[in-house]
Amino acid sequence: MHLHTPGTNLSLDRPVVMGILNVTPDSFADGGHFLDPGAAIARARTMIGEGAAIIDIGGESTRPGAVPVTAEDEMRRVVPVIEALAGTVEAVISVDTTKPEVMAAAIAAGADMINDVNALRAPGALDVVAAADVAVCLMHMQGEPRTMQQDPCYADVVAEVSAFLAERARHCVDAGISRSRIVVDPGFGFGKTLAHNLQMMRHLDRFSSLGLALLVGLSRKSMIGAVLDRPVRDRLAGSLALAVLAVARGARILRVHDVGPTVDALRMIAAVDAVEPSDAEG
């Protein structure tokens, strides 16, 4: 399986890592409104050196309870970083946004992929992506970031999320986006209780069987905090356990903060997959 982007055809025969690059003021030590693109660019290069195949640049916080930002602010944050990286690095440049104006500006600046936690449901978003040659990640979210964790409710979370992703992918294909450009993601933590997240993890193979590239974002998330009772800084072991399990159940792209350790985990899996058969196996 390959992911088609303007820059490359990214092989997903082996799972790959997408490194998270936050360019929101709260992610910078000074907490100021003037972001130094230099620091973000350096962080991106470090993650690429550690083996990230994709860099996911986000200027809009989608955490539960986060305050909305304007399209102008978001563009001011992400465009300089995209311009600095596009064409100068091997990695695929992805932009985490739900706004069509930001998508258009990101594509013009050289982005290869749009990662939309709203699955292109904003008016105009589908058209912006269809008019370009970029890849797109369609993620499931119940409700909206501000309120989505108040009372998540499903009769069958795996069936409902899977049907949603199939329907959004169908819309994309109908708009002229080829299946080789489409990634799907069940959206861990986006309008889901701990039990919903664990059920999705247990039955992750149901999402891979949609036949589209499967991305998962599990890194440092609350489901790990809830099970292990660990603060965000102590969730690496939990994140790696879920990453390995996700790959075993068909995930092809892992969206993570800790690129180096995740790449090591994938290299270990690859070594086991590549060993020559034992005599008994024939």
Minimum distance between the CB of residue 38 and ligand YH5, rounded to whole angstroms? Answer: 23
- Distance, C-alpha 145 to centroid of its chain: 16
Q: Which is nearer to ligand YH5, 27 or 275 (CB)?
A: 27
Site string for ligand YH5, 196-225 (x = CB under 6 A): -------------------x-x--xxx---
Minimum distance between the CB of residue 153 and ligand YH5, rounded to whole angstroms? Answer: 20
Using the Cα atoms of residue 113, residue 260, residue 217 and residue 230 in order, give the sign of their dihedral. negative
| Among 60, 74, 96, 112, interactor with ligand YH5 by CB under 6 A | 96
How are beta strands 9-11 and 2-4 bridged, if at all?
antiparallel
Q: Which residues within the stretch 15-74 sit at the binding site for ligand YH5 (CB under 6 A)?
A: 62-63
Interface stretch with ligand YH5, choices 24-32, 148-156, 169-177, 181-189 (CB under 6 A): 181-189
Site string for ligand YH5, 149-168 (x = CB under 6 A): --------------------
Q: Which is nearer to ligand YH5, 107 or 137 (CB)?
A: 137
Q: Which residues within the stretch 101-120 sit at the binding site for ligand YH5 (CB under 6 A)?
A: 115, 117
255 classed as catalytic:
yes
Q: Which is nearer to ligand YH5, 141 or 265 (CB)?
A: 141
Interface stretch with ligand YH5, choices 40-48, 122-130, 187-195, 239-247 (CB under 6 A): 187-195
Token pair belonging to 189: 């933590």
- How far apart, in whole angstroms, are the C-alpha atoms of residue 11 and residue 40? 26
The one catalytic residue among 192, 221, 235, 252:
221
Minimum distance between the CB of residue 20 and ligand YH5, rounded to whole angstroms? Answer: 6
The residue number with the shortest CB distance to ligand YH5 is 217
Q: What is the DSSP string of the chain?
A: -EEE-SS-EEE-SS-EEEEEEE-SGGGSTT--SS--HHHHHHHHHHHHHTT-SEEEEE-S--STTPPP--HHHHHHHHHHHHHHHTTTSSSEEEEE---HHHHHHHHHHT--EEEETTTT-STTHHHHHHHS--EEEEE--SS-TTTTTS----SSHHHHHHHHHHHHHHHHHHTT--GGGEEEE--TTSS--HHHHHHHHHTTHHHHTTSSEEEEE-TT-HHHHHHH---GGG-HHHHHHHHHHHHHTT--EEEES-HHHHHHHHHHHHHHHHSPPPTTT-
- How far apart, in whole angstroms, are the C-alpha atoms of residue 51 and residue 21? 14
Q: Which is nearer to ligand YH5, 105 or 115 (CB)?
A: 115
Q: Which residues within the stretch 232-251 sit at the binding site for ligand YH5 (CB under 6 A)?
A: 232
Minimum distance between the CB of residue 278 and ligand YH5, rounded to whole angstroms? Answer: 38
| Among 81, 84, 136, 137, interactor with ligand YH5 by CB under 6 A | 137
221 classed as catalytic:
yes
Residues that bind ligand YH5 (CB under 6 A): 62-63, 96, 115, 117, 137, 139, 185, 187-189, 215, 217, 220-222, 232, 255
Residues designated as active site: 221, 255
